[in-house]
Amino acid sequence: MPGKDREEESGRYTTSYTDSEFIEAIQHLEGMAGTSDIAEEIGCTQRTAYTRLKSLEDQNKIESRKVGSSLLWSLSE
């Protein structure tokens, strides 16, 4: 699968997308973007993008705000 590696022992898939790829995608998309735009930029699923973006938000590296029914992600100040 693109963007994923399989662990030898468990057989589980692990992501090979780095945090910096998500941060760079936001920067490339003019500093603010929706989950689907970021997923498309990176080449991952929307679910993978949301999970990773939420993790980065929990680490205070990025932030989100709700606009209508969408989340817009931006870099933390």
Q: At what angle do helices 35-42 and 46-58 cross, to 10 degrees?
A: 110
Q: Residue 9: is its pLDDT beyond 90?
A: no
71 located within any domain: no
The pTM assigned to this predicted structure is 0.78
CATH code at 32? 1.10.10
Domain range enclosing 54: 1-8+19-60
66 located within any domain: no
- The domain total for the chain is 1
- Percentage above 90 pLDDT, the chain: 73
Buried b (16+ CB within 10 A) or exposed e, 37-71: bbbebbebeeebbbebbeebeeeebbebeeeeeeb
59: left (phi over 0), alpha (psi -120 to 50) or beta: alpha
68 located within any domain: no
* pLDDT recorded at residue 1: 45
46 located within any domain: yes
